[in-house]
Amino acid sequence: MTDSVHKEFVDSFKTELKVASPGRINLIGEHTDYNKGFVLPTAIDKHIIFQFQKNNTPDTCNVYSATFDKMMSFNLNEVAPSDKEWENYILGVVSQIQLRDKQIAGFDCIIESYLPMGSGISSSAALECGLAFGLNQIFNLGLEKIDLVKIGQKAEHTYVGTQCGIMDQFASVMSEKGHVILLDCDSIAHQMIPADFGDYQVLLLNTNVSHNLADSAYNTRVAECASVVKAIAKNNPEVTSLREATFEMLAAVKSEITPIAFKRATYVLEENARVEKAVKALKEKDLTTFGELMYGSHNGLQNDYEVSCEELDFLAAFSKNYDQVLGARMMGGGFGGCTINLIHKDGVAEFVADATKAYKEKFNIDLTSFTAVPSQGTAIIN
Ligand code: GLA
């Protein structure tokens, strides 16, 4: 950073506020959020760090990514989508704040990311929510936490172009240390559940691949699910999402929808049921059942929802050779990123070593791994 042409910007920066915005894991409940179903995410102990200062101009903003040594400057009166993807996360958030008639003025920001990008731990939500959180603070905008969540999600819809659900932003902002969140993505009611894994830990294995299908395939899945809702709603007008659909309703429209849409919707209904069972198992400290449900989730994502990839499938299958691993599955949007594994702490070293070797042999790619601790959401730090 010191050799950068932006050294002067960094050196003269007088930090008024420092914010840490975390990545997230999701124990179970994948691709259910935009179907108004259930998810079980939490923030983790890895963050994007933001420094903010007001720069005493009415409308000039400078945002520097120290991680990528990239600077963007823009005028608050001319906020519009950019052709650079990372800038759209920033501009999208600013635009959403403006749309809520909240007044901000010129600011400077330095961003350092400790979240591996494309690894499915939602560095994008951390970026959106950390920025919204910081601007809310320094300009006293009076936004509630849930507003920050919605600003992040809307920024993604409008400027980034992914029709994402609410899970990532909700987890990034709302999480509490030592808990997972059972979030009902319909009512947005949530319950904090102690992440009581006993001698077990959450281990992420990063495939270090990110197949570029991810964005378009994501929006296709959203549309496929919507097509099923539309078919069901013809005879059941009260149904506005797959959350409200039943297996009977789905069976009744089987001939009217494509076989692919039928598979997608079957997965969503099954996954919602799995989340409810998983929460019951977690509360009863029945981690064996919890792990089996994780494998069930992966199976559905691989075969019915078809958002996995061979690298993720390999790691999920490989984990089955280890008694110490109770469950594993792909996590997040899919097509790359991490598997999430529930593993006995004594088994981590051996499993990581073996998986790394086998993965390298199979794909000639270096696997990376890290344990993830359920942690607090976006917060001010010193
Ligand atoms: C991405 C999206 C989330 C969610 C997951 C899949 O992370 O941002 O809203 O849909 O994929 O569960």
- In the chain, the domains with their CATH numbers are 3-194 (3.30.230.10), 200-372 (3.30.70.890)
Distance (Å) from CA 188 to ligand 1 centroid: 15
Query: In the predicted model, is pLDDT for residue 3 greater than 70?
Result: no
Catalytic residue among 168, 196, 215, 346: 168
Backbone angles phi, psi at 54, to 5 degrees: -75, 140
Residue closest to 294 by CA, chosen among 319, 262, 311: 319
CA dist 89 and 72 (Å) reads: 12
Residue 168 designated active-site: yes
Amino acid at 97: I
Distance 365 CA to ligand 1 centre (A): 25
**Is 24 touching ligand 1 by the criterion CB < 6 Å?**
no
Of all helices (H) and strands (E), which one includes residue 357?
helix 348-363
Q: Does the beta carbon of 311 lie inside 6 Å of ligand 1?
A: no
pLDDT digits (tens, 9 = 90+) for 59-111: 999 999 999 999 999 999 999 999 999 999 999 999 999 999 999 999 999 99
Q: 122 in ligand 1 pocket by Cβ < 6 Å?
A: yes
Residue 275 Cβ contacting ligand 1 at under 6 Å: no
Separation between Cα atoms, residue 184 and residue 122, nearest integer Å: 19
pTM above 0.95, yes or no: yes
**CB of 156 shorter than 6 A to ligand 1:** no
From 26, 28, 31, give the residue whose CB has the most ligand 1 atoms within 8 Å, as the site to mutate.
31
- How remote is the CA of residue 145 from the centroid of ligand 1, in Å? 19
Which has the higher per-residue pLDDT, 130 or 118? Answer: 130
Rounded Cα gap, residues 187 and 165, in angstroms: 13
Listed residue (34, 21, 39, 29) closest to 93, CA to CA = 21
Neighbouring residues of 145: CB distance < 8 A, sequence distance ≥ 6: 173, 174, 377
Taking the CA of residue 194 as centre, how many other CA atoms within 13 Å lie in the half-sphere pointing to its CB?
A: 6
In this predicted model, what pLDDT tens digit does every residue of 138-177 receive, in sequence order? Answer: 999 999 999 999 999 999 999 999 999 999 999 999 999 9
Going from the Cα of 228 to the center of ligand 1, the distance in angstroms, rounded, reads: 19
CA dist 218 and 148 (Å) reads: 23
- Element counts in the chain: helices (H) and strands (E): 11, 13
